[in-house]
Amino acid sequence: MQYKKLGDTNLNVSLIGLGTMTWGQQNNIEEACEQMDYAVSKGINFFDVAEMYPVPPTAKTQGSTESCIGEWFNRTGKRSDIVLATKVAGRADQGPDMKHLRGGPRLSRDHIRRAIEGSLERLQTDYVDLYQVHWPERGTNYFGQRGYSHNPAADGIAIDETLDALSELVDEGLVKHVGVSNETPWGVMEYLRLAKERGMARVVSIQNVYNLLSRQFETGLAEMAIRESAGLLAYSPLAFGVLSGKYIGGKKPVGSRMDLFTRFSRYDSAQSTAATEAYKAVADKHGYSLTEMSLAFVCQQSFVTSCLIGATTMEQLKENISAFELRLADDVIAEINAIHNQYPDPAP
């Protein structure tokens, strides 16, 4: 397994990180523990979770994913072997409907304090290595929103209050480092500016969507990630499983995410379908599975710190982890970029 520095910290994280959002919904605790056991045996030391998981978020299941990890720590005693990341949920009326979570989560000092206390209890630990803001408080571009409509009235809790609250957690040792997720270039720069000017905790990572169907991170944020030592933790590298190829031809395998839930429509446009088919042709030509090629592409980007994979079966997990060993040749990258030019970012 290859490892990279998490920002400017002394932590080395595996190039493949273990995503967890199906645990407690599509996967039970025993399946989750089996995944963690296997991932660690393959050199993965980075687990990523969130207080709102599993997805889709519901009052009944909220926190179950963190509880799965906490139980694994309890069984194995391997907390110190893992770089653990979790997230505090953002404003409920801007993100998913989560009134069940603190009456509607916010990024205020009080909410952040209650959120970390709940996460630590479920995770059965007294600290997390990376605590991330799951999405912005303000109204801006995230979760696939195109275009931008400026509305200062929708800004809500200011970033300086959020970062000040996170910095308090760092000072107390409850959190080692902080990061952001689903952020824009302006948002990242504002966190960095405040950290520098006011001596607050510095953002060390950006967890945003990045895959062959959604490469917007390359514009603006990629340079930010490199120059500011705040690398990308790439989530959804297989585009909700679309880039496994299993949905080609309108198929919806029984038990798959698209079969079970109707809310995942981000990658179902005609352009996304056409691009996926074109990428599969390239993978077939070079003897790769579409999954392998898609994940290898993400792992090769210089601005990526870790590629966060998620799986519901051990077969999927094993294929995903093996992809980091693949190095795509220049001619394969050229063919991928040609398709990207034909179908530029078909998914937001």
Q: Which pairing describes strands 128-133 and 175-181: parallel, antiparallel, or unpaired? A: parallel
Q: Is 210 assigned a catalytic role?
A: no
Q: Which residue has the tokens 């000092």?
A: 109
Strands 231-234, 203-207: pairing is: parallel
Please tell me which residue in 53, 131, 247, 267 is annotated as part of the active site: 53
CB 280 within 8 A of CB 245: yes
Contact (CB, 8 A) for 69 and 123: yes
Separation CA 1–CA 45 (nearest Å): 10
End-to-end CA distance of the chain: 31
What SS3 state is found at 286?
Answer: coil
Tokens, residue 159: 């970033």
Q: Which positions ≥6 away from 109 have C-beta within 8 Å? A: 161, 164, 165, 168
143: its two tokens: 């979760």
Cβ atoms of 230 and 205 within 8 Å: the answer is yes
> Rounded CA gap, 59 and 45, in Å?
30
The helix (H) or strand (E) run that includes residue 62 is none
Q: How far apart are CA 238 and CA 216, in angstroms?
A: 15
Q: Report the alpha-carbon distance of residue 308 to residue 326 in Å, rounded.
A: 16
Active site residues: 53
